[in-house]
Structure 1
């Protein structure tokens, strides 16, 4: 990567040995940047999060919906944006900007398309933790940290941006696979999402370039550049710790505990139901066999009183289904519900302690061209809900 000829020793001197006016202005910049970074950190932890409204609207949406979701996802993906910001920070020529941004685009596009098309999934806390370290890496390179602190030459930046782009692509793919994807139009869905990602990236890039161009003409750009890149290292490090904390304390499929949901999120969805047959098993109280028709969805519910608990396990023969495990308050007629787990899987299991009295159950969506059979097993304190035909 080509850097401007910035003497970092002079940068430090300019920050701390200038006139009183310069000192005040330098610290003013530091204050503004610090506040911005701290405000952003609350969003960093959920940089890839997709709202329940997005997940539900995409079910019936077309490829334009995937494109729009890709664009908005990139614009709210602060770790991706921070990485791009670090890439272009010291680049001044259009040729260099195009070269390095293209390297990042190629990297994340390859893994986004390949991993999603082949159903390769990684733990999103872990992949986001590595992405956080990539932000630290690019900022560390910007301050010439390899030479100054490690006494080694900076690795080939073009190669590293491609490699780190591949990692970012896995993060994007992991989130995309939370959505229901059409089997017949799978590749087109993925490409549409990726096109949206690139459109969002271009939009953000234009704003970044304008801001950096304005700052570069300032007398305090050296001070600003040092503060910003050290700030990116700090933000990336904190984000890494937050993601690892999330990984250590995340609710897993075998220990689902609704009490860990901090804020109930209510959405509106048209009511659906399911007809199923139930038999009593030795270990499980009920075993329910459900068939989800091709290109269709079904729902199965249990009535559960507040503070009562039940254990469940459902599985297909390997086919992936989009599902929403959720609950609805008893007596509520608005269609509002609270989601506990949403994803695309072939099986799920765990236990749940109800935080309100109402129906609790699953909505499954089959996007394939063939019916999919589900075996659902449940036991605990519940009353079989009304699961009449759809």
Structure 2
């Protein structure tokens, strides 16, 4: 029980500490612009492994699954979803405010924790929507989040645009596999404990708390960035 509390608290603290850092650094942008396939793949893997919103959602999914075949099916659905929007949105130049997209991604973590705790049945007197379908839909949302970050790298005129998008996605998949391997091992150990029901309750509670922190940070980032844009616009309109 103590271990689960510690893990839950760590999840919240990590999410809070890194939420603001989950963006594209200038160094990464330069590597993406002048580097090759390996550089783009490395940046994709790095982005996934530091993307605590994506990792928290995957942990929520892993808590629900009990068999390897289930893991393959659900993770394939999630991967298909985020691959579709990552490739299509980036190539088509479809984007949105990254803070708002990441805020929606934070809500997907909340949704998964609520679904794990069977709160749909308790609160709404009805079962949750088909989970496989929802995981695919959430994959689309997470992929759009990845695309908005990738599009911050100003690759539109890069002659190797398609290659770099594919490389970035390959890196994302390798990062996801590494994260899933660790999560699978941890959850497998948890399942051997008689305290597993309590561990899942605490972990799902921690997921909700962490997603609330992520949501608050992203909303704050959106409001702050909007105010900055307004201030710049006003200075341009009314020069001193």
Alignment TM-score, normalising by the size of structure 2: 0.91
- 2:182 is aligned to 207
- 1:237 is aligned to 212
**Equivalents in 2 of 1:213, 1:34: separation in Å?**
17
Change (3 A) 1:47 1:84: farther
**Equivalents in 1 of 2:99, 2:186: separation in Å?**
31
Deviations 1:248-270 (A, max 9, x none): 122544534xxxxxxxxxxxxxx
Is structure 2 residue 113 aligned with structure 1 residue 103? Answer: no
Structure 1 segments unaligned to the other structure (5+ residues): 1-25, 257-348, 353-378, 381-390
Deviation at 1:51, TM superposition (A): 2.1
- 1:255 is aligned to 231
Is structure 2 residue 55 aligned with structure 1 residue 78? Answer: no
Structure having the larger proportion of residues in strand: 1
SS in 2 for 1:89: helix
Is structure 2 residue 61 aligned with structure 1 residue 87? Answer: yes
Aligned 1:151-190 pairs, distance under 5 A: 151-181=125-155, 182-190=157-165
Deviations 1:135-178 (A, max 9, x none): 00011111111112221111000111111111111100000011
Structure 2 segments unaligned to the other structure (5+ residues): none
Residues 201-210 or 56-65, more deviating: 56-65
SS in 2 for 1:121: coil
Deviations 1:227-278 (A, max 9, x none): 001111121122212211221122544534xxxxxxxxxxxxxxxxxxxxxx
**Equivalents in 1 of 2:5, 2:115: separation in Å?**
23
Deviations 1:99-134 (A, max 9, x none): 000100000110110110011110011000000000
The structure that has the greater radius of gyration is 1
Deviations 1:257-314 (A, max 9, x none): xxxxxxxxxxxxxxxxxxxxxxxxxxxxxxxxxxxxxxxxxxxxxxxxxxxxxxxxxx
**Equivalents in 2 of 1:44, 1:168: separation in Å?**
17
**Equivalents in 1 of 2:59, 2:8: separation in Å?**
16
The aligned length equals 236
Q: Return structure 1 stretches of 4+ with deviation > 4 angstroms.
A: 349-352
**Equivalents in 2 of 1:36, 1:118: separation in Å?**
38
Contact kept, 8 Å, 1:44 with 1:239, in 2: the verdict is: no
SS in 1 for 2:94: coil
Residues 114-123 or 145-154, more deviating: 145-154
Is structure 2 residue 124 aligned with structure 1 residue 150? Answer: yes
- 2:199 is aligned to 224
Alignment TM-score, normalising by the size of structure 1: 0.57
Contact kept, 8 Å, 1:72 with 1:200, in 2: the verdict is: yes
Superposition RMSD in Å: 1.9
**Equivalents in 1 of 2:180, 2:164: separation in Å?**
24
Structure having the larger proportion of residues in helix: 2
Contact kept, 8 Å, 1:44 with 1:78, in 2: the verdict is: yes
Contact kept, 8 Å, 1:43 with 1:78, in 2: the verdict is: no
Deviation at 1:53, TM superposition (A): 1.7
**Equivalents in 1 of 2:32, 2:4: separation in Å?**
42
SS in 2 for 1:92: coil
Contact kept, 8 Å, 1:47 with 1:79, in 2: the verdict is: no
